[in-house]
Amino acid sequence: MLWGQYLAAHPEAAELAPDYDVECYGDSVELADELLALVVAGGKRATASLVDDFRHEGQALPRIGSHWIACDGRGAPRVVQRSIDLRIGLIESVDEAFAWDEGEGDRTRADWLAGHRRYFARTLAARGVVFDEARMPVLFERFVVVWPPELAD
């Protein structure tokens, strides 16, 4: 119903990007809740994913203006987000500004790299793949929260 409420208030959104994804952050209930809490508090306005994850799941890469509904760790929809900036590059190409915008840990590039290397290695290992940071591109995505109104940017 979150998407329906958003569209009722912003019918132009359907014209610009009628499709949306429904996702949880991370790979566990706890991590999903932790990262969503950062979004709700306003400190997280970026995320990073392996391009390979989209291929593996049969999903298209997001595009500027596309929407996704972020759910809590139990799958309950909490916010509608809209992609505003996308870049593909290797993990080493992350800069301090992106690490800050992602809002995790101490928000430094060094902490971001350490945390994402662990996360990518762990999630790939779960499906029998070794993380090769020199060959596996990362999708760096910035977003805004567009719904519900009390959380919107």
- How many residues are given for the chain? 153
> What are the tens digits of pLDDT across the range 90-106?
999 999 999 999 999 99
Domain range annotation of the chain: 2-147
Token pair for 112: 């971001």
Whether the pTM exceeds 0.85: the reply is: yes
CATH of 2-147, one of 3.40.50.720, 3.40.140.10, 3.10.400.10, 3.40.50.1220: 3.10.400.10
Token pair for 84: 């505003």
> What are the tens digits of pLDDT across the range 43-96?
999 999 999 999 999 999 999 999 999 999 999 999 999 999 999 999 999 999
Per-residue model confidence (pLDDT) at position 63: 92
Cβ proximity of 82 and 34 under 8 Å: no
Return all residues near 116 (Cβ < 8 A) that are at least 6 apart: 48, 91, 94, 138
